[in-house]
Amino acid sequence: MTLLDKLPQELASHITKIEHYKQILTLLNWDARTGVPKKGASYAAQAKGTLAGELFLLQGDAAFGAKLEEAAAQSDEYDDTINRIIAEHYRAYKRKSVIPFEEHAAFVRAQSEANAAWLEARAANDFAVFAPYLKKVFDSSLRFASYWGFQEHPYDPLVQQFDPDLNTVTLNRVFGELKDALIPLIQRVTAAANQPDTSLFRKPFPLSRQHELTHELLHAIHYDYDAGKFGETIHPFTSAINPLDARLASKFVADDVRVALWSALHEGGHSLYTQNINHELIHTGLGIFTSFGIHESQSIFYEKFVGRHKAFWERHYPALQRIQPETFGDVPLDAFYSSLNAIKPAYNRFEADELTYNLHVIIRYEIEQAIIAGEVRYEDLPELWNKKSEAYLGVVPPTHLDGILQDGHWSAGFGLFPSYTLGFVYAAQWHEAIRRDLPNFDRIVGSGDLRPITGWLTKHIHQYGKSRSANELLQQTVGGGIDTKPLIQYLTSKYSQLYQLS
């Protein structure tokens, strides 16, 4: 007997159909980003658009909503998991049902047109090509926010698409605390006398060997290839199809192995989260990450708190030396580790180190707020971007490609970017909690067997999927809410030691 068998058959069948559509669309997205033939891409996109429209109608169907309300009224007859299945689908129903289908279809087209315009703008290195399409997408996003309703700020329902427990008040607090701590720390680090030599990472590294290293790292964190698939892409990502099919794709750059290295550990962390969700939740609506911020916390945990740990490289650096002896064979571990953790403010978010990364996210968030408040014209966005980059990072992008056109995320609308920094904050809180419960954490990281760490994360986070909210996960593990202090303490301590700050 499955979980859905406990619900009325008609309701269970409708939910199953919704979840099957989601799975198919996720598979199409995977194909689109890893290998759809160039000539067939537009037709695949049309098919995906049709399916997405059908899914929208299924989720916003009035009869479906009425059945969910009936089931919710009988909550005493169901256990907590069943009630959460009902609540999750009802939440989606309320969001879909208030948007006219024609407006949703127009928004999907606008997103596609904006993405195409972004690519054209990048080719021309001209933000003006993208600006009118961006405005169209953002105008639709704000109209949807008015449909969904809000009490304090129109950004709240937009960010809650990705992180339901968050709002602008919390984000302003979190980002303000991080700015106050990180900007002066970055200035001290970049002014330090002992700057590591990073030239070894700018030497050619054959892509075939990078593939070998990627698989070494995925095996090191116990990624289950029998419940996943590996691919190559221009921008690393994961496809959380279900716990038995969690795929990831890495990026490879011939003269910078760090891109492949970090993307493997980062996307591997995403996939481990998915693979460890309770299999009973598959196709219920709860068999997926609970929020984008929590999803990001797991990728960041494996990338930074495991993959940037000195003990991890004490164990795995010999494999890197064996794979690429020409570059790393004679480089001592300490020199390698210092270079791997070098801090240098960069123009591009994807290339940012762990100390400056969050400021890239904050820049995007503050620009979104300025747009909503009507404080900036679209044609002036590149200037605003550059001013914030100079103020927070000390660098001014020389071109639009290095600045405001570097990300295509805005083609999809408002609200996603905060999740990236929230994930880092969550991960630091769990890093502190896991050290409390596993005082031999450092030894485990260097042992070659990370299963005690993954077991802790599975017990407290992974297994629940979407059956626990982000706030509930925090409460049951750290006994409180979002707290930036563990992250600030971690970064301050680590880089004060690495750069010998007084």
Active site residues: 267
Place of tokens 């921008």: 235
Task: Please give the order of strands across the beta sheet that includes 237-242.
Answer: 228-232, 245-250, 237-242
Cβ 101 vs Cβ 29: under 8 Å: no
Name every residue whose Cβ is closer than 8 Å to that of residue 63 and which is 6 or more positions away in sequence: none
Burial track 9-40 (b if 16+ CB lie within 10 A, e otherwise): eebbebbeebbebbbebbebebbebbebeeee
Closest CA to 321 of 342, 336, 304: 336
The string of DSSP letters for 466-488 reads GGS-HHHHHHHHHSSS--SHHHH
Burial track 41-66 (b if 16+ CB lie within 10 A, e otherwise): eeeeeeebeeebeebbebbbbeebbe
d(CA 300, CA 314): 20
Q: CA angle, corner 297, sides to 291 and 302, nearest 5?
A: 140
d(CA 87, CA 71): 10
* SS3 call for 199: helix
H or E stretch covering 122: helix 101-124
Q: Is 105 exposed, middle or buried (0-12, 13-18, 19+ CB in 10 A)?
A: middle
d(CA 248, CA 271): 7
Cβ 291 vs Cβ 162: under 8 Å: yes
* SS3 call for 237: strand
d(CA 124, CA 401): 9
